[in-house]
Chain A
Amino acid sequence: MALLEVKDLKVRVEEREILHGLTLTVNEGEIHAIMGPNGSGKSTLSHVIAGKPGYEVTDGQILFKGEDLLEMAPNERAAKGVFLAFQYPVEIPGVATMNFLRTALNAQRKARGESEYSTPDFLKKVREVSKSLNVPQDMLKRGVNVGFSGGEKKRNEVLQMALFEPSLCILDEMDSGLDIDALRIAADGVNALHSPKRAMVVITHYQRLLNYIVPDIVHVMSKGRVVKSGGKELALELEASGYAQFEDAA
């Protein structure tokens, strides 16, 4: 069943069109990779799916489990199971990571009509997840992402993903800034979450990540469109010959 359907999406930012009619379908259980040159609109697409303000959708639609995603507030999308691991996670001074995680998890559960976690249950869950992802407890005591290294911020994103158990995980360059060990651990975390009901969209510049998270389908984005889709061998092809051949196609 289709989890995410992006149909002929046109998006403007500050009077400039960035996405020029983008179409993408992600089915349950699938892993998709999106590759493409800098500025081709990968983060823009992920932001529009998550509901970031400042983007004007001038045409097309986005359906999530058949529902119109663009009609929902960002928090409703999160509660329905959309998760974006940001390329550049923000720092939130004064908001303790633990407090943030619990508030967010319980807000999502409440929106879905599920019971909220008690403090001991929550702590147990966080401890499990952070242990499996090798995230030190001490990081969770600090303000959200405050003073985290680039790699630590990315790990915190994967931690949230594992905690919230979303059905659609979009990972925007989660590999940038991660050292080799951290990359393997984070990829293991993503793979552990993979299930027949859940789909992953992995945005990356590097074929290496796709050795760990093996995609079913690879898309090439250029100038605001998906210009080619194929199997995982497409990533190897890109690694060898670059994007030049696709720039013309766009």
Chain B
Amino acid sequence: MNVAVAKTGNGRAVSDLFASAEGRLPGSPSVIAARREAFETYERLGLPHRRIEEWKYTDLRALVGEVLPLAAAPDAAGLKRAADAVKAHAIAGARKLVLVDGVFAPDLSDIKALASEAGFKTLRETLEKDSGLLKTAATDAVISLNAAMATDGVVLDIADGAQLSAPIQIIHIATAPSASTFTRSQIAVGKGARATIIESFVAAGAKAYQVNDAVILSVGDNADVAHIRLMDDSPDAVNVTSQFVTVGANTKLNFFNMTTGAAVSRLQGFITLAGEGSELSVNGVNLLQKTEHGDTTLVVDHAVPNCVSREVFRAVIDDRAHSVFQGRIIVRPDAQKTDGKMMIRALLLSDEAEADNKPELEIFADDVSCGHGATAGALDDSLLFYLKARGLPEKQAQALLIQAFVGEAIEQIADDDLREHVIGIAERWLERRQ
């Protein structure tokens, strides 16, 4: 039987991507069948483009063109570079789980220290038995592609009542140039548990690589969780990450993302408030320069009554960079007494910088308090002058004001050391523009 071969925007046969990778993809025969099905969905849809409403501002066909071949497992030299990168990017005291070129690296990870506090498996192990992890609540072409191609990831099980004594840091390291990695992780936080999970994306020598990551996070009732994503990939990389989050009742979830790297990036998050009385804080910072394109798209779905959601987004856009913030708040018919607010502010540092801010409310209940706002503007000249009149050179004066601007989102991170780590990454971004 002849299978019709879909073409990418530039006419190349994409099915090579799967055919050449298939032998290296982990999973039982039923998992492989599920992967093939997911890949067919991807082939049918192709990379998202601007005529698909959700991807209107991030046309991957135009921005990325083609998906690079699957990265090979890292060699000894790659692992050595990765070990150095771990040293440079590890957060002091955190338990590290390291993925190198899409493959879990046990020697660089703190599995032993973690074992007493959380259940841990790799995605690879999990897929030997079960294809459940390849299914997600929402799907689109990049999510289907991830399901088809995911090589590894971490599967964390934080038991009911567990109080993690240290944060868990998942570090994604790219050492292979001109290749793609596909990772998928699941984090289940039990009832009444308390955990901080950080995900860092960095390069170790690699350029022009592509990352497609998926995270499935479930937070049980009465839990207290911080999830912090720090995407600092190489400036010529592509990073597309999809997050699926379900929140139980009376929980506190603090969700943070900072984008400081990648030529093209998209973080799409789907957060469902599924239990009453929960408080969700979502904060995002895009720091973009050169011709970078950074898209943060988050859907917060109030499915039940009496939840609070607060979203604070800040974009700092230099040169000819392009920032996209799309925030949608959905309030389902039953979700009375929902309190949902979102504020998006963009700071344009150059005349050619571009910001597309799109806050959206879809409200189907009548007794709610929801609101959003979006602004875009330049640095305040009178403040800049005050600082310069006190001796600060232009760039340094700008840096102080930029730090203050993004500080409003970063200060939502409660842990002092973690906040300092995040500020450090933002400062390095600022130094790159000096």
CA distance A165 to B394 in the complex (A): 22
B389/A50 in contact, CB under 8 A? yes
Stretch from B61-69, B135-143, B185-193, B402-410 forming part of the interface with A: B402-410
Instruction: Assess whether B385 is in contact with A53, with CB atoms less than 8 Å apart.
Output: yes
User: Do A79 and B386 touch across chains, with their CB atoms under 8 A apart?
Assistant: no
Query: In the complex, which residues 375-434 of chain B have their Cβ closer than 8 Å to any Cβ of chain A?
Result: 381-383, 385-394, 396-397, 400-401, 403-405, 407-408
Q: Which A residues, 124 to 175, have Cβ-Cβ distances below 8 Å to chain B?
A: 143, 160, 164
Of the candidates B381, B388, B389, B404, the one whose C-beta lies within 8 Å of that of A92 is B404
Inter-subunit contact A75/B394 (CB<8 Å): yes
Which of A3-11, A93-101, A205-213 makes up part of the contact surface? A93-101
Is the CB of A13 closer than 8 A to any CB of chain B?
no
Enumerate B152-197 residues with CB–CB distance to A below 8 Å: none
CB distance from A47 to the nearest CB of B (A): 9
* A53-B381, A92-B383 known; A75 vs B393 contact (CB < 8 Å): yes
Q: Which of B388, B401, B404 contacts A75 (CB 8 A)?
A: B388
Smallest CB separation, B407 vs chain A (Å): 5
**In the assembly, what is the distance between CA of A111 and CA of B392, in Å?**
10
Residue contact B396 to A103, C-beta cutoff 8 Å = yes
- Report if A73-B383 is in contact (Cβ < 8 Å); known contacts: A92-B401, A103-B396: no
Contacts of A177 in B (CB 8 A): none
Asked if B390 and A104 make an inter-chain contact with CB atoms under 8 angstroms apart, the answer reads: yes
- Cβ–Cβ contact A95 & B393, under 8 A: no
Secondary structure class of chain A's binding surface, majority of residues = helix
Nearest-CB distance from B360 to chain A (Å)?
A: 28
Return chain A residues, CB-CB under 8 Å to B387. 92, 100, 104
Interface size on A, residues (CB 8 A): 29
User: When the two chains form the complex, which single residue of B389, B403, B407 contacts A78, counting CB atoms closer than 8 Å?
Assistant: B389
Residues of A within 8 A of B386 (CB): 86, 89-90, 92
In the complex, what residues of B have CB within 8 A of residue A103's CB?
Answer: 392, 396, 400
Measured CB to CB, the nearest residue on chain A to B388 is A74
Minimum CB–CB distance from A241 to chain B (whole Å) comes to 36
Q: Is A90 within 8 A of B383, CB to CB?
A: yes
Of the residues B385, B391, B394, B401, contact of A104 by C-beta under 8 Å: B391
A-B interface pairs (CB < 8 A), number: 74
- Mask of A86-121 contacts with B, CB within 8 angstroms, 1/0: 100110111100011001110110010000000000
A78 with B408, Cβ < 8 A, contacts A90-B382, A94-B403, A100-B400 known: no
User: In the assembly, what is the distance between CA of A53 and CA of B397, in Å?
Assistant: 15
Within 8 A of B (CB), among A45-95: 50-53, 73-75, 77-79, 84, 86, 89-90, 92-95
Q: Which B residues lie within 8 Å of A75 (CB)?
A: 388-394, 397
Report which of A73, A94, A164 forms a contact with B390, defined as CB distance below 8 A.
A164
Which residues does chain B contribute within 8 Å of A77, judged by CB atoms? Answer: 389
Main secondary structure of the interface of B (DSSP, over half): helix
Q: In the assembled complex, which residues on chain B have CB atoms less than 8 Å from the CB atom of A52?
A: 385, 389
- Asked, given contacts A90-B382, A92-B383, A92-B401, whether A107 binds B391 with beta carbons under 8 Å apart, the answer is yes
Q: How far is the CB of B186 from chain A (nearest CB, A)?
A: 37
Contacts of B396 in A (CB 8 A): 103, 107
Cross-chain contact A108 with B391 (CB below 8 angstroms) = yes
Complex interface residues of chain B between 79 and 119 (CB less than 8 A to chain A): none
* Chain B residue, CB-CB nearest to A52: B385
Task: Check B388–A73 contact: CB distance below 8 A.
Answer: yes
Is B391 a contact partner of A51 (Cβ separation < 8 A)?
Answer: no
Contact with B along A34-47 (1 / 0, CB 8 A): 00000000000000
Bound complex: CA A90 to CA B383 (Å) = 7
Contact of B391 among A86, A99, A105 (CB under 8 A): A105
Query: Are B385 and A74 neighbours in the complex by a CB distance under 8 Å?
Result: yes
Partner of A84, one of B381, B389, B401, B403: B389
A64 to chain B, nearest CB (A): 14
Per the bound structure, the CA–CA distance linking A100 and B385 in Å amounts to 14
> Which residue of B385, B390, B392, B405 contacts A160 across the interface (Cβ within 8 Å)?
B390
Docked pose: A161 CA to B421 CA in angstroms? 34
Note all chain A residues with C-beta closer than 8 A to B391: 75, 78-79, 104-105, 107-108, 111, 164
Q: How far is the CA of A82 from the CA of B372 in the complex (A)?
A: 45
Min CB distance B379 to A, Å, is 11
Check B404 against A93 for contact (C-beta < 8 Å): yes
Tell me which of A86, A89, A95, A160 contacts B401 (CB under 8 A).
A95
Find chain A residues with CB under 8 A from B382 CB: 90
Closest to B397 in A: A75
Bound-complex Cα distance A164 to B391 (A): 10
Q: How far is the CA of A89 from the CA of B405 in the complex (A)?
A: 20
Measured between alpha carbons, how far is A100 from B404 in the docked complex, in Å? Answer: 11
Report the nearest B residue to A88, measured CB to CB.
B382
Q: B404, A95: Cβ atoms under 8 Å?
A: yes
Distance (Å) between the CB of B416 and the closest chain A CB? 15
Report the nearest A residue to B386, measured CB to CB.
A90
- Taking CB atoms, residues of chain B closer than 8 Å to A50 are 389
Q: Are the C-beta atoms of B392 and A73 separated by less than 8 Å? A: no
In the complex, which of the residues A84, A86, A93, A107 contacts B392, with contact meaning CB atoms closer than 8 Å?
A: A107
Between B382, B400, B408, the greatest number of chain A beta carbons within 10 A of the residue's beta carbon is seen for B400
Chain B residues near A105 (CB, 8 Å)? 391
Alpha-carbon separation in the docked complex, A75 to B387 (Å): 8
In the bound complex, CA of A79 to CA of B396 (Å): 14
Binding site for B on A (CB under 8 A): 50-53, 73-75, 77-79, 84, 86, 89-90, 92-95, 99-100, 103-105, 107-108, 111, 143, 160, 164
Extra contacts, 17 of them, besides A75-B391, A100-B387, A111-B393 (Cβ < 8 A), are A52-B385, A73-B388, A73-B393, A75-B390, A75-B392, A78-B389, A79-B391, A86-B386, A92-B383, A92-B386, A92-B400, A94-B403, A94-B404, A94-B408, A95-B404, A104-B390, A104-B391
Q: Which B positions have Cβ atoms within 8 angstroms of A? A: 381-383, 385-394, 396-397, 400-401, 403-405, 407-408
Q: List 15 A-B contacts (CB under 8 A).
A: A51-B385, A53-B385, A73-B394, A75-B393, A77-B389, A86-B386, A92-B400, A93-B404, A100-B390, A100-B400, A103-B396, A104-B391, A104-B392, A107-B392, A160-B390
The 10 closest A-B pairs by CB, nearest first: A94-B404, A108-B391, A78-B391, A74-B388, A104-B390, A107-B391, A75-B388, A94-B407, A104-B391, A95-B404
